[in-house]
Amino acid sequence: MKRESACCAVILVGALAGPVMAGGHTFIFDDDPYVSSGDSPFDLFGPGSDFFLENFEDGLLNTPGLLGFGGEIRFPSDWTDSVDADDGIIDGFGLDGHSYWAFFGEGGPLARFEFDPKVLGGLPRSVGLVWTDGNFDALTFFEAFGPKGESLGAIGPLILGDGGHQGATAEDRFLGVTFQGGISAIEISATLGRIELDHVQYGDIIPAPGVLALLGLSGLLSGRSRRRLA
């Protein structure tokens, strides 16, 4: 099975369609259902992990350094499609969780997430989200942007919708990107209808130059202090 990407060919092999290289940037598309944070390709909760996971379950978009544009939070309802495990049970439905959805934008729905280096102390090198619902006949794209706002390429067009909008989770898919130079923003868009998503995740922070300078100064002062105490 093969889907054409705006940056390169995406060849689905087994569970994970990646890494997909585009000018040194690695895009990840998982063609297996994402039903919980345990399905993330990132180490979200391991020792020393600096990852953040926004699952919207408090009804807010409020993880540090994350800004969202083009959508709004969707609360539990007969039409909500949250990540399956977010309501406390994996049962094939996400009706009782929260999600984020964008709809009817110019040229189709588009949701954009930006990462604030001042809050994070730098930019994340690994970013992803989970597509949970959309129109069955829409083409979906996932694009990433580098530290200066430059496009790093995109995955797409992808056909992800199954025609149902009652919270089923079998079609939920992870889309992500890694880039050692830092990621300033991601966008997910479609050619029509709406997009529903969840589990925005980001981490592996590359310190900003000012932060690196402070860390260097801290190390220098610490070294001087140790020498005085010796």
- Spell out the residues 6+ positions from residue 10 whose beta carbon is closer than 8 angstroms to its own: 2, 3, 4, 17, 20, 27, 29, 155
What's the maximum distance between 2 C-alpha atoms anywhere in the chain?
A: 71
- pLDDT given at position 1: 29
Closest CA to 53 of 153, 124, 102, 157: 124
- pLDDT given at position 58: 97
Structurally, what CATH architecture does the domain formed by 2-229 represent?
Sandwich (2.60)
Report cis status (omega within 30 of 0) of the bond before 157. yes
Closest CA to 115 of 153, 147, 77: 147
Cα separation, 177 vs 154, in Å, equals: 9
- pLDDT given at position 164: 61
- Is-above-0.85 flag for pTM? no
Tokens of 50: 């600096």
Domain parsing of the chain, residue ranges: 2-229
Tokens of 210: 């000012």
Burial of 163 (0-12, 13-18, 19+ CB in 10 A): exposed
Closest CA to 214 of 148, 124, 121, 147: 121
Three-state secondary structure string covering the chain: CEEECCCCEEECECCEEEEEEECCEEEEEECCCCCCHHHCCCCCCCCCCCCEEECCCCCCCCCCCEEEECCEEECCCCCCCCCHHHHCCCCCECCCCCEEEEECCCCCCEEEEEECHHHHCEEEEEEEEEEEEECCCCCEEEEEECCCCCEEEEEEEECCCCCCCCCECCCCEEEEEECCCCCCEEEEEECCCEEEEEEEEEEEEEECHHHHHHHHHHHHHHHHHHHHHC
Along the chain (230 residues), what's the average pLDDT of each consecutive run of 10 residues? Answer: 37 38 78 96 94 98 97 93 94 92 84 98 98 92 96 94 70 96 97 94 89 47 41
